[in-house]
Amino acid sequence: LLGLDALFVSVCLLLSFGAVAGAVDGRAGVGHPTSANCTLQWHTQTTDHFQMDPTSSLPSTFQQRVFVNKQYWKEGGPIFFYAGNEGNVELYVNHTGLMWEHAEEFNAMIVFAEHRFYGESQLTPGASGPSPDQFKFLTHEQAMADYATFMLEFKVEHCSSKDCKVIVFGGSYGGMLAAWLRMKYPHLFHGAIAASAPILFFPGMNPPRDTNNYWQVVTRDASPEGGSAAACAKNINNAWGVIDSFGQTKEGLATLSSVFHTCDPVTDSWLLKMFLAMAFDTMAMGNFPYPSDYLSGGNGFLPAFPVRAACEHLSTPNLAGKDLLEALNNAAALYNNVTAKEQCYSIPDHKHVEQDGIWDYQWCTELMPQETYFTMTGVTDMFWDQPYNSTFIKEHCMSKYNIAPRTYWMAAQYGGLDFLPYTSNIVFSNGLLDPWSSGGVKTNISDSVQAIIIPNGAHHIDLFFSNKDDTPDITFARQFHINNIKKWLQNK
């Protein structure tokens, strides 16, 4: 770890969590371990892995946050490593039950590393993200190099055995990183569980990208095929035209402000529509079979199958006018007011229409998937006609960051399905209730690069703790992962 003098360690309270396989719900900290069961380590990480600039005024290193649990580790056992994604790493520590529940079985050490610029791993201590002159270091390549160099040093420090193999786990962007780490650094990462990883959602890849598929899955969730009320998707589809109609007059805008309880008067019906669409988007990702606070960041629980619950407000056929708008607001409020404390809603402005913070920079540079820019048609989905607009994207990115996307960079590096036959030891899992499954690998590539489909699964639910309400396909997927890990570890 760059020498013990480079490591600042504070030991968290180490609690015995007993039979974690008996966890019974999706709540962080209820019946299963959390970050409180870990040792917190601060790893001195290199700011720029790819060039040396002695004239730079920026710090050459920063402190990267890492959580470690050695409760079940024995010499020769593997390291279960979570590749942190675009959030506070404690979210993943507290929810990635697949690693916790099987550590004892494998004599495994558990390690969660935080992604640079997210959470507390900042170039400027105490910051909440990069300063304008630091954004250039927010790339997936830099993050992967963080994980690779950390793991090399960590293994030297902790593993005397050459058989100390690393299995990398990740969900969503973390799942993409997990797969790419196995592809790019196979000598460090022996296998990868890549859950809900939309690695095919880039221009120039095989198969060709169709971003409308994303919103089609959201629509399916709000339809009888997804278990929702028959009238729901049609009512939602009709609501956008009603909003636009109200948005044509001063009186209509005042009505929209009142019905949707906005903190400031509505001045742009499109921004309101995007705000509401993102509520259904998030509920589709979180379409779990039990209440969960995962996608609310611990700020309140979405109900079981939240899209179905939201659609109950839109179950009356042929709603119209203000009645339709009030029903739409009540449906979206399951997410928008998940705290049950919101007095009004703040609608994002044009500069922040993506509603996803600094992730927008990763879109603007590498086109890391961001659904707010994806194609809607209003015909193949329940939204409105909004084609993918590369001109708008370029203007937005230039205005906000003075940078334009490198359209084919990710395809040049990873190639989509064309590259996967040349790698090994990866499982791609996708839940069909999760809209990100539309950009995932859903067919087997080889005996060691496999895909598993979870018909009742939403966003990387197979990485979560076991739950009494898990459907059989979710349980099967978790065992599928474990069986593959056993196979990988047995192969020299």
Task: Examine the residue annotation and report whether 115 is marked as an active-site residue of this protein.
Answer: no
> CB–CB of 282/295 below 8 Å?
yes
Torsion of CA 458, 464, 469, 471, to 10 degrees: 50
Task: Examine the residue annotation and report whether 228 is marked as an active-site residue of this protein.
Answer: no
Q: Any idea what the Cα angle at residue 213 is, between residues 212 and 215, rounded to 5°? A: 70
Question: Residue 318: exposed, middle, or buried by beta-carbon count in 10 A (0-12, 13-18, 19+)?
Answer: exposed
Task: Examine the residue annotation and report whether 53 is marked as an active-site residue of this protein.
Answer: no
List of residues 6+ apart from 340 with CB closer than 8 A? 300
The alpha helices in 295-389, defined as continuous H runs, are: 306-311, 321-336, 359-366
Q: What are the backbone dihedrals phi and psi of residue 349, each rounded to the nearest 5 degrees, phi first?
A: -90, 180
Of the candidates 172, 196, 257, 437, the residue annotated as catalytic is: 172
Of the candidates 95, 459, 460, 481, the residue annotated as catalytic is: 459
Q: Residue 401 has which token pair?
A: 């960051």
Of the candidates 293, 356, 360, 434, the residue annotated as catalytic is: 434
The CA distances from residue 481 to 168, 230, 408, 492, in Å, are 12, 35, 32, 19
Whether the ω angle into residue 224 lies within 30 degrees of 0, i.e. cis, is: no
Q: Which residue has the tokens 């390549």?
A: 141
List of residues 6+ apart from 25 with CB closer than 8 A? 31, 290, 291, 467, 468
79-83/166-171 β-pairing: parallel
Q: CA-CA distance, 301 to 465, in Å (whole number)?
A: 16
Nearest to 489 by CA among 98, 78, 178: 78
Catalytic residues: 172, 434, 459
